[in-house]
Structure 1
Amino acid sequence: MSRLIVVSNRVAPITEGKSSAGGLVVGVLDALRETGGIWLGWNGNIEPEPTQQPVTESDKNIDFCTVALTQRDYDHYYRGFSNGLLWPTFHYRIDLSRYTGDDYAGYLKVNRHFAQILASSLRDDDRIWVHDYHLIPLGKACRDLGIRNRIGFFLHIPFPSPSVLTTIPPHRALVEAMCAYDLLGFQTQTDVQAFVDYATRYLGAAVSGNEVKIGDRSIKVGAYPIGIHPDQIRALSKQSRRSKPLDALKSGLQHRKLIVSVDRLDYSKGLVERFNAFERLLETAPRHRGKVTFVQIAPPSRQDVQGYRQIRRQLESTAGRINGKWTELSWTPIRYMNRSYERALLMSFFRVSQVGLVTPLRDGMNLVAKEYIASQPAHDPGVLVLSEFAGAAAEMRDGALMVNPYDVQGMADALDRALSMALDERKSRYEHLMEILRKNDLSSWRDRFLADLGD
């Protein structure tokens, strides 16, 4: 059996079964365990000199190969081009994107370095699976070194429409680099169509079924919505039933209803709009005042990027204003926590809540929406309020309450409906969504992609 070679920006070697592991880590590790192979990426360290040879740690049949970055590489490749340009642009926030030629050169340099490391350790029948926007040019860098193995690329974030993508100065070079892969995987059919639209309009591609032909290259493209293991999430949600943090949450609620949101602190998540929608609920549906609490957990991320410092200040200001206006002696409307919690504890928070509020302005998939449903007790499930701009909406729109995150009143109305929904309707929606989650679980995502890569 051929080995699997996984390349991602970060490598996450974990103890098998550790509860804090996210879906991507679990899915990749499962695939690597089956075939054996290598997981290559950055180790998160900044060193004065570039890593020439990766540090390798072996666990059973997997080699975890990691490299450090120099400060210059980090500034240009990671903080600059990846997260200062690609992330905001792919999430339709071109007002926050910034481009410099030095950042782009640094981005290409790190991708070439990863390709050189790969070239030194590949076997002829290895399959290579590259992940996410940090590594778009890696396939082309491998081809330039003469690597002819099957290489697939999966984009975890949205792929923007051509009119947005073309605001990136080297947009054509980026998409041409994507055409060096044998298989391109996206989260939704909308993302696939955006890529095809660009390729036909700007590269003169011909499309036949799920293949895009450019010159003598034929690239298979498809939607592979990433999933979860719903039964594992359900079990995880029960692990912290008697924990002190959960007891403290319940005690503070004093039998009030709970709306819960969990997001990495990011301007793409629609957090300020969400806070404003909750305030609108209090204004327009006064029966909920003092009867419902909104808990927002938003662990910090990328704090050295200007846009992230700005959204943190905005959120703190908005939460303070709303609480200052509506708080009573025995009730604080919004509990905003800018810190991390163990994953099992987060699932238990989901389980005891009546509403899960997942309203990104734009998101590739958003596994929180799926984890929220999987965490619910079947006999008394909560309601998912979901943004139509989350990738998860393509699968979950018939069971969730769909909202436009730019419509504050519409979100408030959905919250009102969710808090008032009868048990029979909640159970019907939950059962429908669980059927979808089990059908399109994490194993299905992984196996479909790797099967198509192996064709």
Structure 2
Amino acid sequence: MNIDSRSRSTRGDCADTGRIVLVSNRVALPGETQTGGLAVALAAAMDDGPALWLGWSGRIASDARLPLETMRAGRLEYALLDLPADDFEAYYHGFANRVLWPLFHYRIDLVDYHREQHEAWLRVNRRFAEALAGQLRADDTVWIHDYHLIPLARCLRELRVGNRIGFFLHIPMPPPDVLCALPAHRDLLGALACYDLAGFQTRADLDNYRHALRQQGIASHGRSGAFPIGIDVEAVAAQARSGEAERAEHELRASLSGRRLAIGVDRLDYSKGLPERFRAFERHLESGASSAGQLTYLQIAPPSRTRVPEYQDVRRELEGLAGHINGRHAKPEWTPIRYVNDSFPQPVLAGFHRAAAIGLVTPLRDGMNLVAKEYLAAQSPRDPGVLVLSRFAGAAEELAEALIVNPHDLDAVAEAIDAAAGMPLRERQDRWQALMARLRGNDVGHWARHFLDTLRAEPPRCGGGAITTALPGPHAGALAGVSLR
């Protein structure tokens, strides 16, 4: 059964033989170091091919109507489009990352809305739609990713594209009272409702979306569900056993002078709660706990969006905190906090994770946070470390055996650090085994297959459909098929 190119209301069922067409702001090309969770997840999801991945080339062009650049690697094809400088600046640095990013992370105070940037965001989405429409085949299934491209399905429908179209939001979905701070919130919700399937990281995100639709009286054109994203568990575990990882682990352990390691690996972003984490570690140093003074905290924080003022502010704050804490607590042979603004290859990070007795993942708000899962997958089964995890990370919904903390409660985080440092081996092993069983049961391949199978399960709807949930794994029996008119 094939998807034909007729209108959505008259087409037949979808076959499994068509291509998967992924669309995201950026594309992880073959040979590039993949550092972002989205890039790693999408690259893994495309392994089965045939597939097309379309996104921005990374280049600025004076003529946005230049032909797409295409390339192929095995069964995977890549299509790259250039963008005009003015539109890119307003679309990416402006509306996407100074309006949607803070808003969706519950930071209304950082939203800097300008109508012309919103219009540029819409223009760029139309440019993506025009580029994509020229690449589509009748039986392709389109899977669009993340907040940059929310209006893309509506733009494609305006071009009379009849293919089945799904969307996955990798960041949190805020509740209606936060979302309505955006002047164009109703338009944004209407764009999300145009998808045949809208996917979210957690049940809470899904509930926020459904509540917002009901509150605004917007009818969904398709279905919605929670699809918590996973990692390639066995690949990360294999990386942690590789020669490159073993060398990184050995060198890092040797530098600790007998102390144990706590590690954080985060993009330098205000949503990650790094200033709060630094202060919580200082509380731990001052607590008088038995482990105080026996831990070195390594924070790896590669800079991102360096042109955005709020990111410059958080970098300055962290540099000041690291200097202050080390100045007060360091000894000639020991520096409590090692703060590194650099990125590392995945095998090296896996080695660092394996060396760490404690993984600190304490964002103020996060869609999922795959670092939490990567930390667990990199551990040695014989002597696993302990994950300290924010309740406001999407991963907390799955990883109940981690030490779950409120990142705003500095004393509670400090106490969790001490509890992790003193946890007996048998308890660490039991917690880790339970967490790993859950990670293996919902790895990145399961996530991609479940989303795509759900998207292909029914013909697209042209409007007025019920909002139904589609939750994988243990949640499916409880919530799948719930219909809200």
TM-score normalised to structure 1 length: 0.94
Confirm or deny: 8 A CA contact 1:258 1:354 kept in the other structure.
yes
Query: Residue 19 and residue 236 in structure 1: after superposition, are their counterparts in 2 closer, same or farther (change >3 A)?
Result: farther
Per-residue CA deviations over 1:251-285 (Å, capped at 9, x if unaligned) read: 22011011000000000000000000000001113
Pairing 1:129–2:143 present: yes
- Alignment equivalent of 1:281, drawn from 279, 284, 295: 284
Partner of 1:226: 229
Query: Residue 354 and residue 156 in structure 1: after superposition, are their counterparts in 2 closer, same or farther (change >3 A)?
Result: same
Partner of 2:214: 200
Partner of 2:440: 438
SS at match of 2:380: coil
Confirm or deny: 8 A CA contact 2:274 2:318 kept in the other structure.
yes
Which amino acid in structure 2 is aligned with residue 73 of structure 1? D
Per-residue CA deviations over 1:321-370 (Å, capped at 9, x if unaligned) read: 00000011111100000111111111111101110000000000000000
Cα distance in structure 2, aligned partners of 1:304 and 1:87: 15
Which amino acid in structure 2 is aligned with residue 290 of structure 1? G
Cα distance in structure 1, aligned partners of 2:288 and 2:421: 11
Query: Residue 225 and residue 353 in structure 1: after superposition, are their counterparts in 2 closer, same or farther (change >3 A)?
Result: same
Per-residue CA deviations over 1:287-335 (Å, capped at 9, x if unaligned) read: 3343110000000000001110000000000111000000111111000
TM-score normalised to structure 2 length: 0.88
Residue 120 of structure 1 deviates from its aligned partner by 1.5
Per-residue CA deviations over 1:236-260 (Å, capped at 9, x if unaligned) read: 01222443x5444222201101100
Sequence identity (%): 47
Pairing 1:366–2:369 present: yes
Cα distance in structure 1, aligned partners of 2:147 and 2:168: 9
Confirm or deny: 8 A CA contact 2:44 2:444 kept in the other structure.
no
Partner of 1:296: 299
Partner of 1:394: 397
Partner of 2:463: none
C-alpha RMSD of matched pairs (Å): 1.5
Which amino acid in structure 2 is aligned with residue 416 of structure 1? D
Query: Residue 236 and residue 45 in structure 1: after superposition, are their counterparts in 2 closer, same or farther (change >3 A)?
Result: same
Partner of 2:422: 420
1:91-110 to 2 correspondences below 5 Å: 91-110=105-124
Which of 280-289 and 148-157 deviates more? Answer: 280-289
Cα distance in structure 2, aligned partners of 1:265 and 1:119: 36
Which amino acid in structure 2 is aligned with residue 117 of structure 1? A
Cα distance in structure 2, aligned partners of 1:341 and 1:270: 21
Cα distance in structure 2, aligned partners of 1:62 and 1:229: 19
- Alignment equivalent of 2:325, drawn from 322, 327, 331: 322
Residue 33 of structure 1 deviates from its aligned partner by 4.4
Cα distance in structure 2, aligned partners of 1:246 and 1:33: 29
1:332-347 to 2 correspondences below 5 Å: 332-347=335-350
Cα distance in structure 1, aligned partners of 2:36 and 2:93: 23
Which amino acid in structure 2 is aligned with residue 305 of structure 1? V
1:1-400 to 2 correspondences below 5 Å: 1-15=17-31, 20=34, 24-202=38-216, 204-205=217-218, 214=219, 218-239=221-242, 240-243=244-247, 245-397=248-400, 399-400=401-402
Residue 20 of structure 1 deviates from its aligned partner by 4.7
Confirm or deny: 8 A CA contact 2:239 2:245 kept in the other structure.
no
Confirm or deny: 8 A CA contact 1:84 1:99 kept in the other structure.
yes
Per-residue CA deviations over 1:168-218 (Å, capped at 9, x if unaligned) read: 11000011011111000000000000000000011x25xxxxxxxx1xx53
Which amino acid in structure 1 is aligned with residue 425 of structure 2? L
Query: Residue 19 and residue 116 in structure 1: after superposition, are their counterparts in 2 closer, same or farther (change >3 A)?
Result: closer
Confirm or deny: 8 A CA contact 1:23 1:442 kept in the other structure.
no
Partner of 1:448: 450
Residue 23 of structure 1 deviates from its aligned partner by 5.3
Q: Which 5+ residue runs of structure 1 have no aligned equivalent?
A: 206-213
Residue 219 of structure 1 deviates from its aligned partner by 1.5
SS at match of 1:396: coil
SS at match of 1:34: coil
> Which has the higher relative contact order, 1 or 2, with Cα contacts under 8 A spaced 6 or more apart?
2
SS at match of 2:255: helix
Q: Which 5+ residue runs of structure 2 have no aligned equivalent?
A: 1-16, 458-485
SS at match of 2:394: coil
